[in-house]
Amino acid sequence: MKVSFVVINYKTRKELEHCIRSIHENSSQPYEVIVINNSPTEDLNHLAAAYPNVKIVTNSRNMGFACAANLGASLASGEYIFFLNPDTYFDSDVVGQLVKFVEAHPDAGIVAPGMKFPSGRPQPTVRRFPKYHYLLFGRGSIFTRVFPNNPITRTFLYQDMRIQSPVPVDSVSGAAMLVKRDTFWKLNGFDENYFLMVEDMDLAYRLKQMGYKVYYLPDVTVYHYLGRSRERAGPRIVREHINPICYGDVCDTVLSVLT
């Protein structure tokens, strides 16, 4: 098996069906799809019946992204793991292009495609490691909404550079990223102290500590609806799990390396 797709579902059945169909129609590499279903009230067994290489594992509760992704990775048999959000899809051989790049670049720890909204508008998915002022000027912050072209946000999201070819970056979105399975487990996977968000940046930082690079390939495209699971998680989950990360753990871990 060459590639194991690991997809975490939370109330995204419709989008997930589209995602799996796009994998089936556009993947040149031998693959399997492991869906970790964090939404126990959603029955996804029809997908396993329709696609023999799809495995569904339904949890009794919402475990969050990091725990569910590690569970999926533990079941993977592929040489590579492609973590993919359920609200994504693609119309070309994305995984073949990413695998080809990794095999030509032994220093690649993570490779990630460019991402676009379904309309075709580019979606910012690369980020520099955070400094304290970046917490106030993240992509969705009120400051960025009021001042969308401010220099702090542009620097944080690499918008101060015109990226047109593969380039090393600090971190990429976990919505679509490929990593060697052996490399992933050298790091013991995602840090499960993070429930939702930040875990992709933490993984990138730990990979860099081991001497690997994170590559962004803007000419390879995945389409992303953006935030469907997060929207449906509801404000309580966001408040309980994301706020402690933003104001606590992330300052004690990722930010500490920059001081």
In DSSP notation, 212-232 reads -EEEEEEEEEEEE--SHHHHH
Work out the average pLDDT over 147-158.
Answer: 67
Band of residue 130 on the pLDDT scale cut at 50, 70, 90:
confident
Is the pLDDT at 243 greater than 60? The verdict is no
Per CATH, domain 3-127+163-258 is 3.20.20.70: no
Q: Which residue has the higher pLDDT, 246 or 64?
A: 64
Q: Which residue has the higher pLDDT, 157 or 76?
A: 76
Is the pLDDT at 124 greater than 50? The verdict is yes
Is the pLDDT at 14 greater than 70? The verdict is yes
Q: Is 151 exposed, middle or buried (0-12, 13-18, 19+ CB in 10 A)?
A: exposed
Q: What pLDDT score was predicted for residue 154?
A: 63
Q: What pLDDT score was predicted for residue 253?
A: 43
**Mean pLDDT over the full length of the chain:** 84
Q: What pLDDT score was predicted for residue 241?
A: 37
- Cβ atoms 87, 228 nearer than 8 A: yes
Q: What pLDDT score was predicted for residue 239?
A: 38
Share of the chain above pLDDT 70, in %: 75
Q: What pLDDT score was predicted for residue 197?
A: 63
Q: What pLDDT score was predicted for residue 113?
A: 98
Work out the average pLDDT over 229-241.
Answer: 44
Q: Which of 26-35, 125-134, 222-231, 234-243 bottoms out in mean pLDDT, i.e. has the lowest?
A: 234-243
Q: Which of 77-81, 95-99, 130-134, 168-172 bottoms out in mean pLDDT, i.e. has the lowest?
A: 130-134
Q: What pLDDT score was predicted for residue 251?
A: 40
Global pTM reads 0.83
Band of residue 242 on the pLDDT scale cut at 50, 70, 90:
very low
Q: Which of 39-48, 134-143, 174-183 bottoms out in mean pLDDT, i.e. has the lowest?
A: 134-143
